[in-house]
Structures are given as structure tokens and as C-alpha cells.
Amino acid sequence: MSTSGHGKWRTLAVAAIAVLLLGASDPAPAQAPVPAGPRVEIHGESYDTPDLTVTPGTTVTWVNRDDDTHTVTSTTDVFRSPGLDTDETFSYTFTQPGTYTYFCTLHPTMTGRVVVRSGS
């Protein structure tokens, strides 16, 4: 290949990189909306509402406001969040009446409870 052929490929590579970089300025994809319903904020290595009573069909959302990673895990493995970094959320819809105790797998002294009762 001639020297001018290498220059052509270099120009194309630079142009491709420029397109990729300029594409980075496009708006970020929309994030899934957080469901309506009760929210439990995590801060100070605790759940701000450790006891919550809801009706079946209610979606509860936990929001990590701490600098540390936390989880929301039911003691009976009904629900289990991934590790939540700062400002990340986890939601779960409770469909069956009962008492759901949960904790942070990284900080087991962090505990909470959701009581699901049918409306009267």
C-alpha cells in the first residue's frame, strides 16, 4: 500500500473517533421511572422507615442515600436487591399478605419489616 493509502486510513480512523466522541454528547437514554408508592431511604447505615405497613399490590422502593453500598434482602429470599450504590434504587411489589423481614447482606445489623395487610 502506498503512503497516501496509509494517510487515507488514518484520516478515516480520526473521523470515526470524532463521530464516536461527538455521539457521546447525545442525551443519555431515559432511565426507568421509579414506581409510585412508599419509599424507604437508606442513610447512616439504617433504613429510615424500618417498619412499614402496606396493602397487597403496593410497590415499595428503597433508595440508597449512603456513601456505602447496601442491599435489601428478605430473610426468606422472597426478594433480593443487587448491591445499591449511592442514589440507586430497588423496588418490589408485595402481592401477598404477610410479614416480610429484610436486612442488608453487607451490614446485617440493618433490618426492616414490611407488613402487608388486606384493606378492611
Q: What is the mean pLDDT of each run of 10 residues along the chain (120 residues)?
A: 52 46 43 76 95 97 97 97 98 97 97 90
Looking at the chain, the number of H-run helices and the number of E-run strands are 1, 8
Predicted local distance difference test score (pLDDT) of residue 25: 43
Predicted local distance difference test score (pLDDT) of residue 39: 97
Domain assignment present for residue 4? The answer is no
Domain assignment present for residue 25? The answer is no
Domain assignment present for residue 32? The answer is no
Looking up residue 102, the CATH number of its domain turns out to be 2.60.40.420
Domain count for the chain, please give it.
Answer: 1
By residue range, what is the domain housing residue 110?
39-116
Give Cβ neighbours of residue 19 (< 8 Å, ≥ 6 apart).
none
d(CA 114, CA 100): 5
Domain assignment present for residue 43? The answer is yes
Domain assignment present for residue 20? The answer is no
d(CA 25, CA 105): 38
Residue with cell 397487597: 56
